[in-house]
Structure 1
Amino acid sequence: MTQFDPRRQPLRLAPHLLTTAAAIGIALLAGKPFAASEAQELPVLTPQQTAYLETQAYAAAAAPAGLNAPEAVPVQIRRGETFEQAVRRAGVRAEDASAVAATIASAFDLKDIRAGAKFETAVSRPRGGVGEARLIGLTMRTGPASQLTVSRSFDGALRLRSLDEKITHETVVARDKVQGSLSASARELGATSAVVRRASQLFAHKFDMQRDVRSADEFTLVFDRSVTESGRTIETGDLMYAELKGQVFYRFERPGTGKVEYFDSTGKNVRSTMMRTPLQNFRRVSSNYGYRTHPISGYRKMHQGMDFAASTGTPIVAPSDGVIVEARRWGGYGNWIRVRHANGLETGYGHLSRFAAGARAGQRVTQGQVIGYVGNTGNSTGPHLHYEMWRNGQRINPASVRTQEGTILAGTELAAFRAEKARIDRIIAAGGQSRPVVQNASSGLRPIES
């Protein structure tokens, strides 16, 4: 059996060479000779198709006698654990774990692997259930668009391959009608959770996202992203433009401030002093402000707030800038937060499952910042948010608050905004744009949330 030489440099194959190799492997497995002089031109395969064909070829040929076909076993490295120890937890022999670690180490410093990193092994188990499993292959991502794959060849030796996908930086114009929910519809068009969250916060200044937005309402989102050849989004930039039901929002950084804000087509800041609701994602208003029969006591009494039915863990955001004055356990309210805002307004939030990181008395919060998460603590019959509001110490109906719009640009700021608006409008008219291919995406983009 050929022994693996850890000093051997890894074989690096471009995606189009992998396509040819996969086709040759399939032809050999089928018992047909591969003759380059007589071969027809191969169709161009996507990276996903190439990976599938390779997987099938290796699965058909790599399982040693007496072992079942390889099965995928995902592994996540634990704190204080070495890469080799993590491989052993897949149930393979110590020799296999040591050999694959040495193979990977010839191309990648294993010291750079941190706890929480994931990789996938292909393991063949004995047909009779007796004996040790055999490691057939391992795939580990080493960068946003690169991965190392170790596979066992026909003679039993381990072979290392490196695949680097090209990355394209592009501006996406996602335009459609709402189907089910805005969040789900936007994700279908490639929007990430960060993009959807930002758009929802903007729309919340104008709409009640649960009651005002319906299926068939048209929306448009424009955002930057970096995408691999296989279509996987690895980084996103800020939301540049958002439109829903005729309401438009343009991203603009006012000269000299370094602060990103959103304005309508005339240059008016769309940021109102108070958002309509502290939740962008809830099922319904389960109880309004006013007299009702209490669901637990059975008595008719005043309900001094609004209840929003939502799933446990739904983020709660500050509807306006302010300071947290309470973040504690408070009787029937369970986990409770109270925030003081400008103009004598205060808001309260009850039954939280937990507080956001750093949420404590004295902390300043900005509009749209997550302060806690929906829960079912205290006297509660199910997961929901109890939302209260005070003006000058007197409880008021949160739905009755009318807020003012933000500032309007003028002078040189307005001229700069109009230039940026014209640029974004050209991108929308063109349906998006792509930048030159780069190997490492950067320029203000942020990694995708896992």
Structure 2
Amino acid sequence: MAQFDPRRQPMRLAPHLLTTAAAVAIALVAGQAYEPVRAEEVPALTSEQIAYLETQAYAAAGAPAGLTAPEAIPVQIRRGETFEQAVRRTGIGAEEASAVAATIASAFDLKDLRAGLKFETAVSKPRGGRGDARLIGLTMRTGPASQLTVSRSFDGALRLRALDEKVTHETVVANDKVQRSLSASARELGATSAVVRRASQLFAHKFDMQRDVKASDEFTLVFDRSVTEAGRTVETGDLLYAELKGHAFYRFQRPGSKTAEYFDATGKNTRSAMMRTPLQSFRRVSSNFGVRTHPISGYRKMHQGMDFAATTGTPIVAPADGVVVEARRWGGYGNWLRIRHSNGLESGYGHLSRYGSGIRAGQRVSQGQIVAYVGSTGASTGPHLHYEIWRGGRRINPAGVKTQEGTVLTGSDLAAFRAEKSRIDRVIAAGGQRRPVVQQASASGLRSVEG
């Protein structure tokens, strides 16, 4: 045991030296030299995360002093109205509306706004019912994949952020079995109304869409679309392929032609001279061609057409190319339409609620074009379409009309079609196709304006 010697000075270590030594020892034990702490780079937020945080911020804002909780108020710009005037209809004052307009104008030219444009606002109103409301937030879509958001910070300033979503082009292969209806099943797989309508027009050449198409029938639709990273469709391209119950249709545009057509796998044009029915959607055939007891008069008499029970406003399409002969009121038929087609055929439509855009006597129409809408005008017991076919001035049974099939491709047209068919078949086999990003996302605060 060491003896205490008063002649020797004891060894003392400063506390900071001990701390340094400990740090060095720990670093040596860990096998690495000491390095200063570095801040990690924060990853950029996605548009979904930004939208979520924005929603949470609005919810957390609560009710400002003396004001009610923020209320969502949708606004649509009216004809002849400025953006500032539209904002004022939410109840906020002129000064604040002007500040909001100035904030938006720093990133978007308000002169480009058109009547009908919609935007969302969050507004708090005075608790006592007196005074102007206060804008808490505003979101306006300025393009298919871009929007501007105005929010109020805790210090009362209005802050503006521009958001551009990533957009990709893709070819979708929608394949499934019919559940409730073809249109409902197709929409569940991402098909838009335009795609479904086009497919229904094609299938109407081969099927009665209400009686021939059953649940569990398999279908395939192939179409182009542009979609945001959030999965929202901003643009839909053409229907490239449609198949139902073994009948397939390929889209093909002949070299030098201005329009595209649809052909079967052999190159035969699937476009027949007359579609089976002028409606792609109806509940049932409520009355066939032939003798029946009239539902209003009670007498047995000849029913010289077919009745399709359908809801008011259901679109009616031209079953073939033709020229409008009549578009007028006609007795018990109510609003009446008659179209002259080739081969001595004419089609007639009764009880219409209204006519399609531009439909009048002398107007040329194309197959599949919307010419009118189902109604219940004239002598009618409920919404339905009375449909007639005339040949040589005499009414005939619409269900018995025989139609001629389309033409067959040959030569260079057939070779070009086969190349396009092979391309579409490869896309179907691959389950679809995605193209490069065409727009890059960016989110930035553009400026603040004191409110």
TM range (shorter): 0.7 to 0.9
**1:60 positional shift:** 1.3
* Matches of 1:46 and 1:184, distance apart in 2: 31
The residue aligned with 1:219 is 219
Q: Check if 1:343 corresponds to 2:343.
A: yes
* Matches of 2:195 and 2:366, distance apart in 1: 18
The residue aligned with 1:333 is 333
The residue aligned with 1:136 is 136
Secondary structure, counterpart of 1:60 in structure 2:
helix
Give unmatched runs, 5+ long, in structure 1: 1-35, 441-450
**1:46 positional shift:** 6.0
Larger radius of gyration: 2
**1:259 positional shift:** 2.2
Determine if contact 2:125/2:133 at 8 Å carries over to the other structure: yes
The residue aligned with 1:365 is 365
The residue aligned with 1:377 is 377
The residue aligned with 1:146 is 146
* Matches of 2:413 and 2:120, distance apart in 1: 52
Secondary structure, counterpart of 2:395 in structure 1:
strand
* Matches of 1:49 and 1:379, distance apart in 2: 58
Pick closer, same or farther for the CA change 1:102–1:63 going to 2, 3 Å. farther
The residue aligned with 1:277 is 277
Q: Check if 1:404 corresponds to 2:404.
A: yes
The residue aligned with 1:189 is 189
User: Deviation string for 1:308-365 (max 9, x for gaps)?
Assistant: 0111111111111111111111011011111111111111000111111111111111
* Matches of 2:92 and 2:374, distance apart in 1: 43
Determine if contact 1:62/1:136 at 8 Å carries over to the other structure: no
For normalisation by structure 1, the TM-score amounts to: 0.87
Amino acid at match of 2:173: V
Determine if contact 1:241/1:249 at 8 Å carries over to the other structure: yes
* Matches of 2:401 and 2:49, distance apart in 1: 56
**1:207 positional shift:** 0.5
Q: Check if 1:79 corresponds to 2:79.
A: yes
**1:37 positional shift:** 7.7
Determine if contact 2:47/2:165 at 8 Å carries over to the other structure: no
**1:439 positional shift:** 2.5
Determine if contact 2:47/2:163 at 8 Å carries over to the other structure: no
Amino acid at match of 1:211: R
User: Deviation string for 1:58-84 (max 9, x for gaps)?
Assistant: 331364212222111000011111111
Secondary structure, counterpart of 2:200 in structure 1:
helix
Secondary structure, counterpart of 2:249 in structure 1:
strand
Give unmatched runs, 5+ long, in structure 2: 1-36, 441-451
User: Deviation string for 1:212-267 (max 9, x for gaps)?
Assistant: 11111111100111111111111111100000111100000112222211001111
**1:52 positional shift:** 2.6
The residue aligned with 2:266 is 266
The residue aligned with 2:177 is 177
**Where do 4+ consecutive residues of structure 1 move more than 3 Å?**
36-42, 44-50, 127-131
For normalisation by structure 2, the TM-score amounts to: 0.86
The residue aligned with 2:121 is 121
User: Deviation string for 1:266-323 (max 9, x for gaps)?
Assistant: 1111111110000011111010001111111111111000000111111111111111
Paired residues in the alignment total 404
* Matches of 2:248 and 2:335, distance apart in 1: 37
RMSD between aligned alpha carbons?
Answer: 1.9
Secondary structure, counterpart of 2:250 in structure 1:
strand
**1:128 positional shift:** 4.0
* Matches of 1:256 and 1:146, distance apart in 2: 37
**1:167 positional shift:** 1.0
Determine if contact 1:46/1:230 at 8 Å carries over to the other structure: no
* Matches of 1:101 and 1:347, distance apart in 2: 54
The residue aligned with 1:431 is 431
**1:427 positional shift:** 0.3
* Matches of 1:322 and 1:264, distance apart in 2: 24
**1:55 positional shift:** 1.4
Secondary structure, counterpart of 1:227 in structure 2:
strand
* Matches of 1:385 and 1:308, distance apart in 2: 5
The residue aligned with 1:206 is 206
* Matches of 2:164 and 2:250, distance apart in 1: 36
The residue aligned with 1:415 is 415
**1:51 positional shift:** 1.3
Pick closer, same or farther for the CA change 1:124–1:39 going to 2, 3 Å. farther
Amino acid at match of 2:318: A
Secondary structure, counterpart of 2:417 in structure 1:
helix
Determine if contact 2:350/2:387 at 8 Å carries over to the other structure: yes
* Matches of 1:274 and 1:85, distance apart in 2: 52
User: Deviation string for 1:108-150 (max 9, x for gaps)?
Assistant: 1111111111111110123344433211111111111111111
Determine if contact 1:171/1:433 at 8 Å carries over to the other structure: yes
Determine if contact 1:62/1:153 at 8 Å carries over to the other structure: no
Secondary structure, counterpart of 1:186 in structure 2:
helix
User: Deviation string for 1:150-196 (max 9, x for gaps)?
Assistant: 10001111111110111111111111111101111111111111111
The residue aligned with 2:314 is 314
**1:106 positional shift:** 1.1
Secondary structure, counterpart of 2:272 in structure 1:
coil
* Matches of 2:46 and 2:277, distance apart in 1: 44
Amino acid at match of 2:88: R
User: Deviation string for 1:359-386 (max 9, x for gaps)?
Assistant: 1111111111111111111111111100
The residue aligned with 2:18 is none
* Matches of 2:111 and 2:47, distance apart in 1: 29
The residue aligned with 1:97 is 97
The residue aligned with 1:13 is none
Secondary structure, counterpart of 1:123 in structure 2:
strand
